[in-house]
Structure 1
């Protein structure tokens, strides 16, 4: 049976009050006598009335402004998916008064991050969605937003800070543990492992901690684990640094790359003719998938940048428009990508 849709006029007639009184009860505004309120409230409960929130927002003509501070996808291809997720959510909710503006920064230039964050804050948004690539600078942005009542949502990188914010992404510590579990299954008993950070960001330490803790908890492990950080902005310097590390650590045969740049590391290993190695990395970039299918990357962990970014906009939009609760923490599943299922994720 199709449920009857009641109008404000219907409710007013049933309660024996004016339409204006019903409107004031529904929107909790203006004065209403106790007797009139009880009559309207009783009718609403009896008919299980659900207000049309789409129509309510359009009637109010309320505009909500969202600023997105995102690494420039033209500089680093990993962020193409996140950018598409932001665009998709923006297109979906724009007709209901959700306005989204993007501010792109260079992911290896903290001055670019500061400049774009200042522009985003100066625009006076209701919400700032941010990828906090640089720790101190991001904490300063959070402090300013708190003082100016700009609601903040972070994705991809989670920060350990006292400032309140919403985070949407993966459990980074658990992500490291998943990588360690995979590594432990496929390497030899005494293999030496290197945790490799390329262009280190705050979230990578959480992955490293999870990875190391997994092996600490498995007391039978005899693996030596080292950590090395590289910068890839200068190709020649990067290549020489990797070559020097391998020369000084010749027994290292397993590598955990903590971000999407496993393919950059492998490009150098190919030039050095380094073989018989195990590599676990992140993200379904075409360059990574190529090496995965060739058997040179063993596993990739999918961080779902599209979904992370989409949910940031969609969740805050639904909060504004429909009053839905906004969770302070939303972890997404940790997907393991192999050569056999990679094409489903491209």
Structure 2
């Protein structure tokens, strides 16, 4: 069994004091060049590996990781994130990591700003959030940087020098994947891109998906496809259905729809009684989407795996603070296509 060397052992081997070894190991205080060389030679000889966990316990430091996500009661897509956060918290109990959850109204920029600034005032070590409002998110991540708080983001990407890392899918590429699916099903036709409940001009995730989708079809260099975009709110369900059906009536030749967020079920439900049924490609395995996927109302769903995103992001932060492990600036997850035949395997 390998010998576990103490500071006392290293000091004896190097012929210096324990205080000198401590200063070298923790890079604090002044050490003469001669003593530094002696200690480092011993460290190399014994292949010394520091124990960051012991260091953390010794200084009795608790790292605070705050998570800011949309209210799960208003958008069930985020519900798996709560489970992931709880599992992470259970795994790191006793290791000097404290997690706190905060929620904002996904329809309110004011709610996002107010909640985020309240978190910043509490001075956590890091904030993990979803920048669904691009303009406001840029403001918040800059304020975090100025306060010395690390910021990680997931699911939705924004380009910012103040963001430490991003975890999620390549949203532009996922738009291309959706386009490819419809291209395989349609040799020609009119396709609608449907944005629901989000202002696309302030939502880079919707913009990237639409760019990727349109780019795929423009790359075909074919006149066989026409693409139209509809941005629509579901705050008033009656108005939502009327607006969607009006859009379909105005575009009688519309054969398919690409729904850019996790609310494909709203579209499927609105058109379920129509004689002409459009193909639908959307996102995420929320219960109502899965219902329509299994019953033919939705053809494909792209699974963004929010639980995996949030737990991976938290693990990177924990390992950074506990073990000084570097955090990758970007981690892109696979783009997973789910249909009625494969969905049960993802619901376990």
Q: TM-score, normalised by structure 1?
A: 0.93
Shift of 1:196: 0.8
Which residue number corresponds to residue 130 of structure 2? 131
How much has 1:217 moved relative to structure 2?
1.1
Unaligned runs of 5+ in 1: none
> How far is the alpha carbon of 1:331 from its aligned partner?
1.1
> C-alpha displacement at 1:3, in angstroms?
3.4
Matched with 1:5 is 4
Match of 1:28 in 2: 27
Give the match for residue 305 of structure 1: 306
**CA-to-partner distance for each residue in 1:287-329, whole Å, 9 max, x for gaps?**
1112222233221111110111112221111111111111222
RMSD: 1.8
Aligned residues: 343
Task: Mark the CA change 1:93 to 1:23 in structure 2 (over 3 Å): closer, same or farther.
Answer: same
Matching residue of 2:15: 16
Q: How far off its partner does 1:150 sit?
A: 2.2
- How does 1:1-346 map onto structure 2 within 5 Å? 2-161=1-160, 163-187=162-186, 189-200=187-198, 201-220=203-222, 222-275=224-277, 277-346=278-347
Shift of 1:80: 0.6
2:43, 2:120 → 1: CA distance? Answer: 42
**Residues 162-200 of structure 1, C-alpha deviations (whole Å, 9 max, x = no match):** 64442111111111111111111111x221111111112
What is the Cα deviation at residue 131 of structure 1?
1.1
Deviations 1:189-234 (A, max 9, x none): 2211111111123311100000100111111361101111111121
Q: Deviation of residue 161 (structure 1)?
A: 4.6
Displacement after TM superposition at 1:128 (Å): 1.9
CA distance in 2, matches of 1:302, 1:202: 19
Structure 1 residue 268 displacement after superposition? 0.6
Contact preservation (8 Å) 2:272, 2:297: no
Instruction: Tell me the secondary structure at the aligned position of residue 233 of structure 1.
Output: coil
* Partner Cα distance (2:2, 2:295) in 1: 58
Q: Which piece of structure 1 moves more, 320-329 or 204-213? A: 320-329
**Residues 332 and 53 (structure 1), Cα distance of their counterparts in 2 relative to 1, 3 Å cut:** same
Q: C-alpha separation between the residues in 2 aligned to 1:110 and 1:57?
A: 38
CA displacement at 1:35 relative to structure 2: 2.3
CA pair 273-4 structure 1, distance change in 2 beyond 3 A: farther
Superposition deviation, residue 237 in structure 1: 1.0
Contact 2:11 2:39 in 1 (8 A): yes
Instruction: Tell me the TM-score normalized by structure 2.
Output: 0.93
* Range moving further from structure 2, 201-210 or 140-149: 140-149
CA contact (8 A) 1:66 1:101 kept: yes
SS at match of 2:225: coil
2: CA distance, partners of 1:221 / 1:156: 34
Task: Give the superposition deviation at 1:94.
Answer: 4.3
Structure 2 unaligned residues grouped into runs of 5+: none
Deviates more, 1:281-290 or 1:138-147: 138-147
Q: CA deviation at 1:34?
A: 2.2
